[in-house]
């Protein structure tokens, strides 16, 4: 397949943001193709989360563009970007704490239905919405917790619920920022399997910010490396991990910390 002729699901061109004199993301141009899971790595403060915030619209770029399916969405607010197919894993603060896990997922399913084919109101019957939400909870292995409020869930189950919400919204581009952060060792595999499953089904484009190199190795088709806001490496995992710039900029620091 000639990737250069495939319209990327997501592209950034010269994406830049300055905070005062500090350039947190510096001229990052990158294309993300459907069916590919790209890990974004780099040391603390490299600009990974800021890059995500620029893509999802939480931050406005100082310069550069964000394109979804070839269309410029740089001027759009986060909600409009979501409707164009950008899905960023929710943080718990985005959930309705007084509602159950099932009701939260149902709202996510409904938002997708409302944004989708207005001619087909099939999902707008309450039963259909609930059935779909239940299927999503089943998929993330939270079916038995469907009547529990998010704040009463364990930390690991809360992260699974975040994955359920993004699955329910059926985005073209899935964005995960350290999805296993703070999880216990035995909870990590479930979330990794879920992300692997998202990648295997259909032609989702997945972006994953992740510090743990074993997670990156097991999931990524491609790694890009940010360092001081600049994209310094981009390629197949084995090649990128072995490159001197990564050994020095990232893995070297990890080794030094260990």
Ligand X SMILES: Nc1ncnc2c1ncn2[C@@H]1O[C@H](COP(=O)(O)OP(=O)(O)OP(=O)(O)O)[C@@H](O)[C@H]1O
Residue placing its CB nearer to ligand X in the complex, 49 or 74? 49
Subset of residues 36 to 95 that bind ligand X, contact rule: CB under 6 A: 42, 44-50
Interface pick for ligand X out of 24, 86, 136, 137 (rule CB under 6 A): 24
Order the strands of the 71-72 sheet from edge to edge: 22-32, 10-19, 63-68, 71-72
Closer CB to ligand X, 2 or 93, in the complex: 93
Residues from 199 through 228 that contact ligand X (CB under 6 A): none
Number of residues that bind ligand X (CB under 6 A): 10
- Please, what is the minimum distance in Å from the beta carbon of residue 103 to ligand X? 31
* Residue number with CB closer to ligand X (2 or 44): 44
Which residues lie below 8 Å from residue 33, measured CB to CB, with a gap of 6+? Answer: 3, 6, 8, 9, 205
Under the criterion CB under 6 A, does residue 171 sit at the interface with ligand X? no
How many residues does the structure list for the chain? 258
Based on CB atoms, which residue is closest to ligand X, 170 or 177?
Answer: 177
Q: How far is the CB of 245 from ligand X (least distance, A)?
A: 16
Taking the complex as a whole, how short is the minimal distance between the CB of residue 166 and ligand X, in angstroms? 19
Residue 19 or 96: the one with the smaller Cβ distance to ligand X is 19
Please report how close the Cβ of residue 95 comes to ligand X at its closest, in angstroms.
22
Q: How far is the CB of 26 from ligand X (least distance, A)?
A: 10
Counting contacts by CB under 6 A, is residue 247 touching ligand X?
Answer: no
Contact code string over 2-21 relative to ligand X, x by CB under 6 A: -----------------x--
> Quick one: 129 or 241, whose CB is closer to ligand X?
241
Is the CB of 196 or the CB of 212 nearer to ligand X?
A: 212
How far apart are alpha carbons 52 and 30 in whole angstroms?
A: 13
Query: From the CB of 59, what's the least distance to ligand X, in Å?
Result: 7
Residues whose CB is less than 8 angstroms from the CB of residue 115 and which lie 6 or more positions away in sequence, other chains included: 82, 83
Contact residues: ligand X, CB under 6 A = 19, 24, 42, 44-50
């Amino acid at each position: 397949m000639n990737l250069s002729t495939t319209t990327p699901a997501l592209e950034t061109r010269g994406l830049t943001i300055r905070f005062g004199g500090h350039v947190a993301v510096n001229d990052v141009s990158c294309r993300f193709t459907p069916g590919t899971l790209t890990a974004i790595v780099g040391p603390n403060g490299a600009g990974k989360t800021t890059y995500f915030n620029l893509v999802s619209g939480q931050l406005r770029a100082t310069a550069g563009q964000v394109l979804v399916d070839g269309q410029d969405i740089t001027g759009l607010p986060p909600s409009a970007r979501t409707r164009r197919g950008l899905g960023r894993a929710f943080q718990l603060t985005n959930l309705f704490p007084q509602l159950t896990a099932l009701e939260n997922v149902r709202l996510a399913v409904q938002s997708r239905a409302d944004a989708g084919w207005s001619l087909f109101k099939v999902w707008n019957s309450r039963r259909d919405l609930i059935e779909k939400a239940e299927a999503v909870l089943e998929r993330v292995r939270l079916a038995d917790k469907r009547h529990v409020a998010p704040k009463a869930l364990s930390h690991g189950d809360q992260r699974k619920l975040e994955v359920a919400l993004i699955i329910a919204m059926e985005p073209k581009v899935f964005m995960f920022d350290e999805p296993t952060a703070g999880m216990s060792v035995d909870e990590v595999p479930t979330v990794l399997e879920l992300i692997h499953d998202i990648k295997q089904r259909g032609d989702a484009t997945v972006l994953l910010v992740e510090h743990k190199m074993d997670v990156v190795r097991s999931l990524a088709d491609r790694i890009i490396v940010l360092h001081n806001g600049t994209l310094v490496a981009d390629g197949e995992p084995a090649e990128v991990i072995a490159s001197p710039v990564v050994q020095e900029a990232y893995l070297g620091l990890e080794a030094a910390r260990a």
